[in-house]
């Protein structure tokens, strides 16, 4: 007697978070996401938010291009950061658990030249209400945590172009 695991696995995959719009991200597309403010984070960063602080971090230096790679967990308990993160998650993901209370997000990063980014294609983990789920890659999540410099540069470019 043979039991097929495929239907339960498909059902499980159908219940996990996914992107609202299936999209293929390339380095060029990720740059466009910031320049066009697809993430809608310009107002958030213009308001000089108190950025989420890492709760735990592990990193390894010394890849062939001198970059550092690692994983960092942020604990977002309250305030404007939590509201902005909830809006961002709801805008770009579907089938999320209820985004109530404290949230913990673990993301991978690479740092080169003092600037951090999420590697393209790197998923992340969201824990909320005692439930942990995997999130597929979306550059807006990385820009929420590591995008302050990118959005400051975007603001300067926009200010210069309006002269």
**Stronger pLDDT, 52 or 78, i.e. the higher one:** 52
pLDDT band at 14 (very low <50, low <70, confident <90, very high): low
User: Is 137 part of any domain?
Assistant: yes
User: Is 53 part of any domain?
Assistant: yes
Q: For residue 158, is pLDDT > 70?
A: yes
Rounded Cα–Cα distance for residues 97 and 16 (Å): 9
Beta strands 115-117 and 18-19 are: unpaired
User: Is 97 part of any domain?
Assistant: yes
User: Is 16 part of any domain?
Assistant: no
pLDDT number for residue 54: 80
How much is the mean pLDDT over the chain?
84
**Mean pLDDT score, 105-111:** 92
Rounded Cα–Cα distance for residues 46 and 152 (Å): 8
Q: How many domains, in total, are found in the chain?
A: 1
Predicted TM-score (pTM) of this structure: 0.82
Exposed, middle or buried by CB within 10 Å (0-12, 13-18, 19+), for 44?
buried
**Mean pLDDT score, 100-114:** 88
Contacts of 81 (CB under 8 A, 6+ apart): 49, 50, 51, 52
User: Is 17 part of any domain?
Assistant: no
Q: Which two tokens stand for residue 112?
A: 């080169």
* Residues 100, 130 contacting (CB under 8 angstroms): no
pLDDT number for residue 3: 53
Please give the residue range of the domain that contains residue 72: 23-161
User: Is 18 part of any domain?
Assistant: no
pLDDT number for residue 62: 63
User: Is 134 part of any domain?
Assistant: yes
User: Is 115 part of any domain?
Assistant: yes
């Amino acid at each position: 007697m043979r039991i097929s695991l495929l239907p339960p696995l498909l059902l499980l995959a159908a219940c996990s978070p996914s992107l609202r719009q299936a999209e293929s991200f390339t380095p060029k597309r990720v740059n466009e996401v910031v320049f066009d403010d697809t993430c809608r984070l310009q107002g958030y960063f213009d308001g000089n938010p108190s950025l989420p602080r890492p709760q735990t971090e592990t990193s390894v230096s010394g890849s062939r291009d001198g970059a550092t790679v690692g994983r960092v967990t942020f604990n977002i308990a309250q305030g404007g950061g939590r509201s902005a993160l909830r809006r961002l998650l709801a805008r770009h993901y579907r089938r999320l658990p209820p985004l109530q209370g404290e949230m913990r997000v673990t993301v991978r990063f690479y740092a080169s030249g003092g600037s951090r980014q999420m590697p393209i294609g790197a998923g992340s983990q969201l824990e909320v209400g005692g439930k942990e789920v995997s999130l597929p890659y979306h550059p807006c999540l990385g820009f929420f945590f590591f995008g302050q410099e990118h959005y400051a540069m975007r603001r300067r470019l926009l200010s210069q172009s309006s002269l």
